[in-house]
Amino acid sequence: MPEIIDARAKPCPQPVLLAGSAIKTSDEVVIIVDNVVARQNVAKFAKSQGCGVTVEEKDDGIYLHLKREAAACQPMAEPSQGGIVVFIGSDIVGRGENIELGKLLMQSFLNTLQSLPNRAESIIFMNNGVKLVVEDSHVLGELKQLAEAGVELLACGTCLSRLGLSDRVGVGQVSNMFTIADTMTRAGKVISL
């Protein structure tokens, strides 16, 4: 009998944390969520832990069935020192005194990142920073080039939702607070703009 967890109405990253706790002790877990972002976050996390995932959409929620594969689901890995992570919390560089200059500096920064020998492994976008990953962003081209070069682009799903931008993402992946915090704590260095 699978362990059943009701994660409906739980804010990010609670559904992922609940799934992480449950797969440590149960071979089968059913976690119920109520939105697409939570479904994506739980499924991605479970797969990263070596679990099979099947999704069943019902009238009362989205049911994610997590099951240990032939090799058991792995517990969360211990932190290790990683590479460089860039944290972007605004759509401009600076404090907003000169927005056009701030946009130009952001574009210049992202262009420069591409040519550095110690390229960032991940770029995290939160708060107004998520405006940079949408379809009509003034730096969409630069971000697509970084993504093509292997830089992981993580945009806060809660931020996108609150700003009404969830359906306009043009590059990168919609992420969650668990993945963002995990990425930052594993980094060898975090650079914040």
Q: What is the pLDDT of residues 101-155, one digit of tens each?
A: 999 999 999 999 988 888 899 999 999 999 999 999 999 999 999 999 999 999 9
User: Residue 119 is part of a domain; what is its CATH number?
Assistant: 3.40.1260.10
Are 92 and 127 in contact by the 8 Å Cβ rule? The answer is no
Query: Are the C-beta atoms of 68 and 27 separated by less than 8 Å?
Result: yes
> Residue 105 belongs to what domain range?
84-192
Look at residue 124 in the predicted model and tell me its pLDDT. 98
pLDDT score, position 72: 45
- φ, ψ of residue 73 to 5 degrees: the values are -55, 135
Question: 53 forms bridges with which residues in the sheet?
Answer: 66
- Beta-carbon contacts of residue 36 (< 8 Å; ≥ 6 apart): 62
SS3 content of the chain, % helix, strand, coil (to 5): 40, 25, 35
Distance CA 120, CA 124 (A): 11
Say whether both 36 and 124 belong to one domain. Answer: no
Write down the pLDDT at residue 190. 95
Instruction: With beta carbons less than 8 A apart as the criterion, state whether 36 and 50 touch.
Output: no
pTM of the entire predicted model: 0.73
Instruction: Phi first, then psi: give them for residue 169, nearest 5 degrees.
Output: -65, 125
Instruction: Copy the structure tokens of residue 49.
Output: 């832990």
pLDDT band (50, 70, 90) for residue 36: confident
Judge whether 73 lies within some domain. Answer: no
- Over residues 22-34, the pLDDT tens digits come to 988 888 999 999 9
Q: Is residue 13 part of a domain?
A: yes
For residues 56 and 151, state if they share a domain: no
Q: Is residue 78 part of a domain?
A: no
97 and 152 co-located in one domain: yes
Whether 48 and 95 map to the same domain: the answer is no
**Residue owning tokens 């770029």:** 123
Last residue in a domain, options 39, 68, 97? 68
Q: Which residue has the higher pLDDT, 14 or 125?
A: 125
Same domain, 126 and 153: yes
On whether residue 129 sits in a domain, the answer given is yes
Residue 132 lies in a domain: yes
- Average confidence score pLDDT of the chain: 89
Q: How confident is the model at residue 76 (pLDDT cuts 50, 70, 90)?
A: very low
| pLDDT at residue 158 is higher than 60 | yes
Residue at 54 is within a domain: yes
